Amino acid sequence: MIASPDRTPLPREFFDRPVLEVAPDLLGRLLVRATPDGPITLRLTEVEAYDGQNDPGSHAYRGRTARNEVMFGAPGHVYVYFTYGMWFCMNLVCGPQGRASAVLLRAGEIVEGAELARTRRLAARNDKELAKGPARLATALDVDRSLNGTDACAKGATPLRILHGAPVGSAHVRTGPRTGVSGEGAVHPWRYWVADDPTVSPYRAHVPRRRRS
């Protein structure tokens, strides 16, 4: 018999570690989004680590801004950003306060509340595609900039929380370059995913935008 996932919330201490320790350890954990229509629970299957001012691929590489302010705060908070003028992406801040490292949540399996996620992801051909990619994940969970700065480790009610779940053993974790990252940051194998999981998004290398003549 397969044991039920542990639904104990992860403490702040879990996130108060180096980003390269936290990122792979998030695989198999449960992300719960509380909505007015009911909860949606997602099992994390793919993440990427971004190491703050030591990482050219990070939003915090050039220092603190109004956009990335949350990344410099306490671990366990949610950093949400808007990209390409149409999509939101969700990150979890980790490491000591002021370090500005974070883990991008790239993909997962909706294990509870799929009927709610489907109403937001009408283009998904099946449930495996509901959160297959960071923008799809945020859309399926109804995450936008209004949730930027949410404390996922707060006591009491919170719209986003991470539960212990069923962490994935190292034998089932794969690692490789991050999707769409260019320059020096492209060499880091800081994307982590669950081996052979159908909800993991396809890898895409960075493609420079062409200037219009």
Instruction: Report pLDDT for 84.
Output: 81
Instruction: Report pLDDT for 55.
Output: 93
Question: pLDDT-derived band of residue 213, with 50, 70 and 90 as boundaries?
Answer: very low
Using the predicted structure, report yes or no on whether residue 8 has a pLDDT greater than 90: yes
- Please name the residues in contact with 123: beta carbons below 8 A apart, sequence gap of 6 or more: none
Using the predicted structure, report yes or no on whether residue 110 has a pLDDT greater than 60: yes
Report domain extents, the chain.
Answer: 6-181
Instruction: Report pLDDT for 128.
Output: 96
Instruction: Report pLDDT for 145.
Output: 96
Read off the pLDDT of residues 171-212 as tens digits, 9 standing for 90 and up: 999 999 999 898 888 889 999 999 999 999 998 876 665 555
Distance between CA 23 and CA 58 in Å, rounded? 14
What does the mean pLDDT of the chain come to? Answer: 93
Residue 155 burial by CB count (10 A; 0-12/13-18/19+): exposed, middle or buried? exposed
Instruction: Report pLDDT for 180.
Output: 85
Cβ count within 10 A of residue 179: 18
Cβ count within 10 A of residue 148: 19
- Residue 190 · residue 176 · CB < 8 Å: no
Read off the pLDDT of residues 134-146 as tens digits, 9 standing for 90 and up: 999 999 999 999 9
Instruction: Report pLDDT for 85.
Output: 81
Instruction: Report pLDDT for 205.
Output: 79
Read off the pLDDT of residues 18-58 as tens digits, 9 standing for 90 and up: 999 999 999 999 999 999 999 999 999 999 999 999 999 89
Using the predicted structure, report yes or no on whether residue 114 has a pLDDT greater than 90: yes
Instruction: Report pLDDT for 1.
Output: 35
Higher pLDDT, 113 or 211: 113
Verdict on whether the full-model pTM lies above 0.85: yes
Distance between CA 179 and CA 191 in Å, rounded? 8
Element holding 6 (H helix, E strand): strand 6-9
CATH architecture group of domain 6-181: Roll (3.10)
Instruction: Report pLDDT for 104.
Output: 98
